[in-house]
Amino acid sequence: MLFFSWLWVIATAIACSIWANDIAKLKGQKDTQWMVWGFIFGPIALLALTAYPDLEDRKHQRDTASELSLIKDNVSELCRNS
């Protein structure tokens, strides 16, 4: 019975590490680091990873904001020239 309990713990740790690795890649975080944290802390690491920001989304938002700022500057410049 003890063997199956340890087998369950190891299987859960491996599953959490693989899942943390995938989620970290999607969020733009360090995937190897989160894979280790997922193996050591299991579901707690997954919960912590969900609280971390999505760096890819922030980069896209920053790029979009800068593009909108450039468009706004061009419109105001065109209004001044008219």
Its sign, for the CA torsion 21, 17, 36, 40, is positive
Q: Is residue 55 a contact partner of residue 25, using CB atoms and an 8 Å limit?
A: no
The domain locations on the chain are 1-51, 56-82
Q: What are the tens digits of pLDDT across the range 1-60?
A: 898 999 999 999 999 999 999 999 988 889 899 999 999 999 999 999 988 888 877 777
Predicted model pTM = 0.67
b (16+ CB within 10 A) / e for 25-52: eebebeeeebbebbbebbeebbeebeee
